Amino acid sequence: MEIAFLKSGHDHYTVGHGPFEESSSAPEDTTAFYRNDFTLSDPRPWKIPTKVEEVRSLGEVGFENKSPSIEWRELEPDGFAQVFSEINEMITRGVMEKSVPVATEKGRILEGEGDHLLGGLPDLSDPFYSYGWSVGGVGFCGATPELLFSLKGKSLTTMALAGTAKVDERDVFAVDGKEIREHEFVAQTLVAKLSDIGQVARAQRSIMDLGQLVHFHTPIEVELFANRQVDDLIRRLHPTPALGPLPRTQETLRLLVEWRERLDCPPCFGAPFGLLKGGEFTSVVTIRGIHWDKKDVYIPSGCGVIEASRLVNEWRELRLKRDAVKISFGY
């Protein structure tokens, strides 16, 4: 099976069927998906489908509304604790102010194939973006609340989304200094990255309610001074400050990639995934999902580590995020 899809809010799913033609640049006058890994290493990230259709549900393209049986393995904290310690050392040395390690829970499909996970994806609307990709038995799908950016002409929309708590801790979360500082790192860095290419309007920080979890959310609108290539904007904004290091330098990015690899993070977790359709481009950040390679399954979750972070709290946040994904898929 070769398939890609993206659904924004209450819209229909835009589904692309393969085989996919690959291109190094965005095509003109045709629908295409953008799929890359976290390091943007794919020289031909634009995937042009053979056939495109709009559907109200994934059941219309043949996916059964059921997740396959999976045997999950308990995730031990040792590897993450070591990386957390190394990040703290780098913060103390002044190499970085923040980084985002990823812990990955693993499982094995007992019956069925990885593609069958597409059928278990819940049908969610705002503020979620549902996404999926599967080619050759390798893929991912999920429902992310994080928009990398959308672009229509010179109008660009993005967001800062950082800081996490359980929904029943909302009142305490609203005044949590550590979570507010983490969010402001993200929001201020985004504004700085965009101010030299357009007129930036930052909305007030609010709380986004995702049912089980809440996050701080700051919408950001930009009127670009000139037309910009989508690929250039992706490289400017990815990784978002919510998933990348601060400051973003060659050294801090190298360290982050090394930590992700040591913790068995799937290569496409947190990567941009987008849809170019009708002259408009929408790209999301691939979090809150499941990744698979044949019968091996992975649920990654990341957390922002700053000077005020504490290991036990971050480990708890990582589990909350993974559990939210599991529950949404019926596990």
Domains of the chain, each with CATH number or no CATH:
2-328 (3.60.120.10)
Q: What is the pLDDT of residues 182-201, one digit of tens each?
A: 899 889 999 999 999 999 99
Least confident residue range of 6-10, 93-97, 196-200: 6-10
Given a contact cutoff of 8 angstroms between Cβ atoms, the answer to whether 213 and 165 are in contact is yes
pLDDT at 10: 74
Question: Which SS3 state, helix, strand or coil, does residue 82 take?
Answer: helix
- Whether the predicted model's global pTM rises above the 0.85 cut: yes
pLDDT at 140: 98
Q: Specify the residue for token string 């259709």.
A: 53
In the predicted structure, residue 178 carries a pLDDT above the cut 90: no
In the predicted structure, residue 109 carries a pLDDT above the cut 80: yes
In the predicted structure, residue 112 carries a pLDDT above the cut 90: no
CA atoms within 13 A on the CB side of 257: 16
Q: How far is CA 11 from CA 108, 119, 275, 296, in A?
A: 33, 18, 13, 31
Q: What is the length of the chain?
A: 331
Higher pLDDT: 264 or 242? It is: 264
Q: What is the pLDDT of residues 116-144, one digit of tens each?
A: 999 889 888 889 999 999 999 999 999 99
What does pLDDT average to over the chain?
94
Question: Which SS3 state, helix, strand or coil, does residue 61 take?
Answer: helix
